[in-house]
Chain A
Amino acid sequence: MTPTSTDDLLSARVRMPQHVLHRSFVAETVVLNLRTGKYHGLNPTAGHMLDALAAAPTVGAAVPELAREYGIETAKAEDDVLALCKGLIERGLIEVVDADSA
């Protein structure tokens, strides 16, 4: 499922597909796409956002808590989360699922 709008993405749930692994290190999270053999590094903030997105029922649901944690405006947090999601989707590191999926 490829969201066609920002609203679609905010109301969707994202998950890491089975062919993607990630391991957390002190200074970054390494994400490995087993299909492409490529390794990607996420800084601590992006790594934490990824964890929050994986646990949240929708992308939009992850935003308020992240805004509080980082002491930023909700709109800024939303922009950052959407940018991260789009980048990860482009690299095949996360996929969008129906928000109602388990």
Chain B
Amino acid sequence: MAIEVDSAIELPGLGDAGTAAAIAPPSPSPPPASAPSARVRLDPDELERRWSGGQEAELMRELRDDEQVLLSVEHQPGCGYLLHAPGFARILVSADGGELLCAPLTDDPDWTMLLPAQALPLAATLQGFEVVHAAGLALGRRAALFAGPPGAGKSSLAAALMRLGAELLSDDAVALSFEDGGLIAHPGVALLHLRSAEHGRLPAAARAHLGSSTRFQSKRRYAPATATARPFGSLFLLEHAAGGAPLERLERVDPFELLRQTYNLSVRTPERLARHLDLAAALASSGNVYRLRVLAHMDATRLAEVVYTELTGT
């Protein structure tokens, strides 16, 4: 994703503060014109002016932890979507997804994680992309996506595949577009988060391959270079399992399982809903949807080897 970031906002993976940063590594070819892009500004006053001057907002989504609201998403037609993480930050995503106005509610710089975690995927959705909750890797010419519930091991698997030569597209949210009759997977924010325990189990060579890391809450954060956009190749649906073959190509894919992989539940325009359904149909008809069973005796390295062999034939 091409992002222009206010100099006052610092988040690894968004490029140097104050510069127009293309997340993709330097490439002979310019990023495709169809890639998601956004301007991110630190401007609480402008956020308040726009939001207060608009129509009555509709609550689209609320994420709660028991009685506490963790995140709310409100919508004002013509103005955009306001994400509010109480005590953390408010971010107004413009109606076309091209501009994000940020109003931190804390001095803790970790508020910026609301950008890759919620605001930027929402912006990409508003720009016409379908964002899936998955780790995306480029393996050769194609993209492989790894979807699954929190804790399924997507990031660990991504790190293990990177050690085998895959390049990171995104750790958590992959933007897809329909182009030339096919699906294209676009790179996202260049961040990879591993649980501290997983980081501790990595051999020194593996850590060196991922690059330097910083502590982020209970995890280690890496900011590797990302791959350029790739045609979609395969989707792996991760699940913890007690038995069965670790890898199974699915002949019959549950469309509702595919629909559930969406990253965004807030944008419900007819155009977006139709696109969401079309994505599920495109993924199912690709013939390359797999069940990837995370068995107790298989760590991320072994699982990555299974996937790598399937995708490369080596």
Decide yes or no: A30 and B253 within 8 Å by CB, A19-B270, A25-B284, A37-B268 being known contacts: no
* A to B contact number (C-beta, < 8 Å): 42
Over the window 247-261 of chain B, the binary record of Cβ atoms lying under 8 Å from chain A Cβ atoms (1 yes, 0 no) is: 000011111100100
B274, CB-defined interface residue at 8 Å: yes
Residues in chain A near residue B280, CB distance under 8 A? 23, 25, 30
A21 touches B (CB below 8 Å): yes
B105 proximity list for chain A (CB < 8 A): none
Interface set, chain B 263-314, CB cutoff 8 A to A: 268, 270, 273-274, 277-278, 280-281, 284
Q: Given the known inter-chain contacts A37-B268, A39-B259, please indicate yes or no for A26 contacting B273, CB distance below 8 A.
A: no
Residues of chain B within 8 A of A23, CB atoms compared: 255, 277-278, 280-281
Known: A23-B281, A25-B284. A41 touches B255 (CB 8 A): yes
Bound-complex Cα distance A30 to B273 (A)? 12
CB distance from A91 to the nearest CB of B (A): 16
A34 contacts partner chain B, Cβ-Cβ < 8 Å: yes
Question: CA of A35 to CA of B251 in the docked complex: distance in angstroms?
Answer: 32
Contact assessment for A26 and B284 in the assembled complex, using a CB-CB cutoff below 8 Å: yes
Q: Are A41 and B256 closer than 8 Å at their CB atoms? A: yes
Q: Does A27 contact B277, Cβ atoms closer than 8 Å?
A: no
Chain A residues whose C-beta falls within 8 Å of the C-beta of B256 in the assembled complex = 30, 39, 41
Separation of A28 and B255 alpha carbons in the complex (Å): 8
Residues of B within 8 A of A30 (CB): 255-256, 259, 277, 280
Total residues of chain A contacting the partner, CB 8 A:
15
Inter-chain contact A34/B274, CB cutoff 8 Å: yes
Which residues of chain A (4-57) have a CB below 8 Å from chain B?
A: 19, 21, 23-28, 30, 32, 34-35, 37, 39, 41
Cα-based distance from A19 to B277 in the complex (angstroms): 13
* Chain B interface helix/strand/loop/mixed: helix
CA distance A21 to B280 in the complex (A): 13
Whether A26 and B251, one on each chain, are in contact in the complex, defined by CB atoms closer than 8 angstroms, is yes
Beta-carbon nearest neighbor of B276 in chain A: A32
B274 to A26, Cβ gap below 8 A?
Answer: no
Instruction: Across the interface, name the chain B residue whose C-beta is closest to A32.
Output: B277
| B278 proximity list for chain A (CB < 8 A) | 23
Q: Which one, A21, A25, A35, contacts B255 given CB within 8 A? A: A25
Contact A25 B253 (CB under 8 A): yes
Q: Contact partner of B281 among A25, A34, A35, CB < 8 A?
A: A25
Chain A, residue nearest B270 (CB) = A34
Report how far A19 CA is from B273 CA in the complex, Å: 11
Separation of A23 and B253 alpha carbons in the complex (Å): 13
A26 to B277 alpha-carbon distance, docked (Å): 15
**A23 to B256 alpha-carbon distance, docked (Å):** 12
Please judge, given known A-B contacts A37-B268, A39-B259, whether A27 and B274 are in contact too, CB under 8 Å: no
A30 to B252, CA, bound (A): 14
Q: How far is the CB of B266 from chain A (nearest CB, A)?
A: 11
Chain A CB within 10 A, most for which of B255, B256, B274, B278: B255
Interfacial chain B residues near A24, Cβ < 8 Å: 281
A27 to B7, CA, bound (A): 51
Across-interface contacts of B255 in A (CB, < 8 A): 23, 25, 28, 30, 41
Q: Chain B: residues with CB nearer than 8 A to chain A?
A: 251-256, 259, 268, 270, 273-274, 277-278, 280-281, 284
25 contacts across the A-B interface (CB closer than 8 A): A19-B270, A21-B274, A23-B255, A23-B281, A25-B252, A25-B253, A25-B255, A25-B280, A25-B284, A26-B252, A26-B253, A27-B252, A30-B256, A30-B259, A30-B277, A30-B280, A32-B273, A32-B274, A34-B273, A34-B274, A35-B270, A37-B268, A39-B259, A41-B255, A41-B256
Please give 10 more A-B residue pairs, beta carbons under 8 A apart, in addition to A25-B284, A32-B273, A35-B270. Answer: A23-B255, A23-B280, A25-B281, A27-B253, A27-B254, A30-B255, A34-B270, A37-B268, A37-B273, A41-B256
